[in-house]
Amino acid sequence: MNEQNILNTASGGYPESLIDILKKLTMMDGVSGDEKPVRDFIIERIKDRVDSWYVDNMGNLITFKKGTGLNRKVMLAAHMDEVGLLITGINDNGLLKFKAVGGIDTRVLVGKRVRIGKDGVPGVIGYKPIHLQDSTERQSTVKKSGLTIDIGAKDRDQAEQSVSVGDTAAFDYDPVEFGDHKVMAKALDDRVGCVILTELLKSRYSFDLYGCFTVQEEIGLKGAKAASYAVVPDVAIILEGTTCYDLTGTSEHMMSTRLGDGPSLTVMDRSVISDRDLLKHITRTADKLGIPWQVKRTISGGTDAGRIQVSGKGVRVCPIAVPCRYIHTPVSVMDKRDFFHTLKLAEGTLAELADWLTGDGDTDVKDSARGTAHTTGLDQNQFWEGKSDV
């Protein structure tokens, strides 16, 4: 099979234009707590695909598609926010002080272009030239507190005309397609999930479907908490971009995922242990459809799954993710085949989820009756309200 055929198989008939949508979405800025541009773009794409949608008090975009009969609620979640910076001060010389929003390696910041606020004021994070550093400085790690953003202003007054304390700053890098089916862009985490979720909203299922585009994931999985309390789902699938470290010199077990090896499935991370039966349903779907998949080998990091799982009466959750090298930098890299395979796997999983939910599916564990009270002559609501003497 030649290279092009491999990509065609992976895309399974999906248009390459989806990659253009993804690229556009990575050019929108949505630093945690400031996700409006991303949300507005997504609303335009999904408003005709769903029965209803609303933006909640936190800023989550919650969409609804009525099911055709099965009394179960399925939540899909992808976060709209990205890591970035928050302007915390303006020096007399016009340079901007900042704090990181989300997890960013300080070493990544030096020499990077950023754009600030809704007008996208251009700036650069400068540092002392190597010529002027003494040997100790050359050896030591750069501290965030020693960095500033230069917007070219001559002094504080001039800087204050274009930026304000409290503005957010995002990396200013356009996406690039390159190499062997690769895309390089900022914010692939989690615009990949956002694009996949918008595609999944095209179909209607027997269960009620809630597509949730969440806010503030990068600073503690916050939006998902409010969204899942509103939805109270039975099952949730979290669509993500995840760490990938498969470079030379890394031992196998430290490679969280490998680029090109297919969607990443999480058994456990710092936020969640996935539902084993749901995970099995997903891997069986992948095998049936001939989609490659990989288990994430490291347990660091967390996703919205961690918050959603413990909401309401408990939720059966599993993340499906696109591996992204250099995640949380301006130049994260994904393989287009992984992206299309993740979409295809999520679609396949949903297509057979009703059977799985009702115990008719090809599964070893027929415990789909979870959440139903096994008491004779007692209705479930009475059970939960504690009105029984069982």
Is residue 84 within a helix (H) or strand (E), and if so which, with residue range?
Answer: strand 84-90
Shortest CB 98 distance to Zn ion, Å: 21
Within 13 Å of residue 55, how many CA atoms lie on the same side as its CB?
Answer: 12
Contact yes or no for 240/187 (Cβ under 8 A): no
Q: Using CA atoms of 104, 106, 111, 115 in order, give the dihedral in degrees to the nearest 10.
A: 40
Collapse the DSSP code of 134 into the 3-class scheme (helix H, G, I; strand E, B; otherwise coil) and give the result. coil
Shortest CB 323 distance to Zn ion, Å: 12
Site track for Zn ion across 307-336, x = CB under 5 A: ------------------------------
For Zn ion, which is the closer residue by CB, 172 or 218? 218
For Zn ion, which is the closer residue by CB, 7 or 219? 219
Shortest CB 189 distance to Zn ion, Å: 4
Shortest CB 174 distance to Zn ion, Å: 21
Q: From CA 191, how far away is CA 260, in angstroms rounded? A: 18
Name the one range near Zn ion by CB under 5 A: 189-197, 258-266, 277-285, 338-346.
189-197
For Zn ion, which is the closer residue by CB, 190 or 347? 190
| Phi and psi at residue 372, to the nearest 5° | -110, 135
Shortest CB 190 distance to Zn ion, Å: 4
Q: Does 190 bind Zn ion (CB under 5 A)?
A: yes
Shortest CB 37 distance to Zn ion, Å: 18
Name the one range near Zn ion by CB under 5 A: 35-43, 195-203, 238-246, 255-263.
238-246
Name the one range near Zn ion by CB under 5 A: 41-49, 147-155, 232-240, 344-352.
232-240
Name the one range near Zn ion by CB under 5 A: 23-31, 182-190, 345-353, 373-381.
182-190
From the list 35, 217, 240, 352, the catalytic residue is 217
Q: Does 81 bind Zn ion (CB under 5 A)?
A: no
Active-site residue flag, 3: no
| Phi and psi at residue 22, to the nearest 5° | -60, -45
Name the one range near Zn ion by CB under 5 A: 20-28, 70-78, 236-244, 370-378.
236-244
Contact yes or no for 133/141 (Cβ under 8 A): no
38 secondary structure, DSSP code: H
Q: Which of 318, 268, 321 is nearest to 293 (CA)?
A: 321
For Zn ion, which is the closer residue by CB, 278 or 321? 321
Q: How far is CA 301 from the centre of its chain?
A: 12
Site track for Zn ion across 239-278, x = CB under 5 A: -x--------------------------------------
For Zn ion, which is the closer residue by CB, 72 or 296? 296
Q: Does 189 bind Zn ion (CB under 5 A)?
A: yes
Q: Does 167 bind Zn ion (CB under 5 A)?
A: no
Q: How far is CA 337 from the centre of its chain?
A: 18
Say how many residues touch Zn ion, by CB under 5 A: 3
Give buried/exposed letters for 314-343 (b at 16+ CB in 10 A, else e): ebbbbbbbbbbbbbbbbbbbbbbbbbbbbb
For Zn ion, which is the closer residue by CB, 95 or 195? 195
For Zn ion, which is the closer residue by CB, 161 or 300? 300
Pairing outcome for strands 182-185 and 332-335: antiparallel
Q: From CA 21, how far away is CA 165, in angstroms rounded? A: 32
Q: How far is CA 216 from the centre of its chain?
A: 11
Shortest CB 239 distance to Zn ion, Å: 9
Contact yes or no for 150/127 (Cβ under 8 A): no
Is residue 238 within a helix (H) or strand (E), and if so which, with residue range?
Answer: strand 235-244
* CA geometry: angle 279, 281, 286, nearest 5 deg: 95
Q: Does 82 bind Zn ion (CB under 5 A)?
A: no
The residues that touch Zn ion, with contacts defined as CB under 5 A, are 189-190, 240
| Residue positions annotated with a catalytic role | 217
